[in-house]
């Protein structure tokens, strides 16, 4: 429920379906993507973007359900979604955050531009009976999503692309259909490689080590464990 002054009150969390979210007044700036409710507000400079960030941070009650905010010189992207034990999706909290953020943006003259929004979902595939999820969990240092632990991995830091694992009738032919690069601080690379190998992966090539090692899961999908080491 909104409170006086454009703030938000987070005393309860009520799940809300996407159609109800979009039908609510004052959320016209927002679009629902794979990672929650998103809005992009255009700005004329980095200083203006920072002012919008400060206005969002000043919303009463915002720290009880803080959105993810990406600040750039040409605009600010805001995302809100609810993660609770046994629940991952939109809630009344996200609705109130969205309305309060839009109000703060309007007060500064920042106009929403939904055409700037996009999210990415990576979909590795494997035939039935081939469990590649543990490999990717280790290689990416991700968590299993609580409401779908056998299908989805998410970044516990809330920064990187989520993964959904496709159950295929037949294996892909030839080289794996996806190839990712995960960049890490050099001191973390070896531990990540060891974890991925222990989770069922194997090294495809290490010709470019220590800049990167290419590993693969049991279905042939590949990932480079990369760092700046050896490049400078």
Domains of the chain, CATH where assigned: 2-116 (3.30.1360.20), 125-226 (3.10.180.10)
Q: pTM for the whole thing?
A: 0.79
- Tell me the pLDDT tens digit for each residue of 146-157: 888 999 999 999
- Tell me the pLDDT tens digit for each residue of 185-231: 899 999 999 999 999 999 999 999 999 999 999 988 899 999 999 98
Residues 6+ apart with CB under 8 A from 157: none
Does 129 score more than 60 pLDDT? yes
What is the rounded distance in angstroms from the CA atom of residue 28 to the CA atom of residue 92?
A: 16
Length, in residues, of the chain: 232
What is the rounded distance in angstroms from the CA atom of residue 74 to the CA atom of residue 48?
A: 9
Segment 146-173 shows an average pLDDT of 84
What is the rounded distance in angstroms from the CA atom of residue 39 to the CA atom of residue 53?
A: 13
Strand partners, 183: 226
Residues 6+ apart with CB under 8 A from 4: none
**In the chain, what is the straight-line distance between the N-terminal and C-terminal CA atoms, in Å?**
53
CA-based nearest residue to 72, from 41, 33, 113: 41
CB 153 within 8 A of CB 145: yes
Confidence of residue 107 (pLDDT cuts 50, 70, 90): very high
- Tell me the pLDDT tens digit for each residue of 51-87: 999 999 999 999 999 999 999 999 999 999 998 776 7
Give Cα separations from 206 to 48, 135, 213 (angstroms).
46, 18, 5
Residue 4 pLDDT: 33
Provide the 10 A C-beta neighbour count for residue 89: 16
Instruction: Return phi, psi of residue 168, to 5°.
Output: -100, 150
Residue 24 pLDDT: 95
Q: What percent of the chain has pLDDT over 90?
A: 69
What is the rounded distance in angstroms from the CA atom of residue 71 to the CA atom of residue 77?
A: 7
CB 81 within 8 A of CB 94: yes
Give CA 201 to chain center in angstroms.
24
Segment 23-44 shows an average pLDDT of 95
């Amino acid at each position: 429920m909104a409170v006086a002054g454009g703030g938000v009150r987070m005393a309860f969390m009520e799940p809300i379906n996407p159609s109800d979210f979009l039908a609510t007044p004052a959320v016209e700036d927002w679009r629902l993507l794979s990672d929650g409710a998103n809005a992009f507000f255009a700005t004329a400079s980095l200083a203006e973007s920072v002012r919008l960030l400060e206005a969002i941070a000043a919303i009463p009650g915002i720290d009880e359900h803080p959105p993810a905010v990406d600040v750039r010189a040409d605009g600010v992207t805001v995302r809100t979604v609810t993660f609770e034990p046994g629940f991952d999706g939109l809630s009344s909290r996200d609705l109130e955050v969205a309305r309060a953020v839009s109000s703060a943006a309007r007060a500064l003259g920042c106009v929403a531009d939904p055409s700037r929004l996009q999210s990415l979902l990576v979909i590795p595939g494997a035939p039935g009976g081939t469990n590649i999820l543990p490999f990717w969990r280790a290689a990416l240092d991700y968590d299993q999503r609580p409401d779908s632990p056998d299908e989805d991995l998410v970044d516990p830091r809330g920064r990187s692309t989520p993964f959904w694992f496709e159950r295929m009738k037949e294996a892909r032919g030839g080289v794996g259909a996806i190839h990712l690069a995960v960049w890490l601080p050099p001191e973390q690379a070896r531990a990540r490689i060891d974890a991925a190998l222990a989770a069922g992966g194997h090294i495809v090539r290490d010709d470019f080590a220590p800049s990167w090692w290419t590993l693969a899961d049991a279905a042939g999908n590949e990932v480079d464990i990369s760092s700046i080491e050896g490049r400078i």
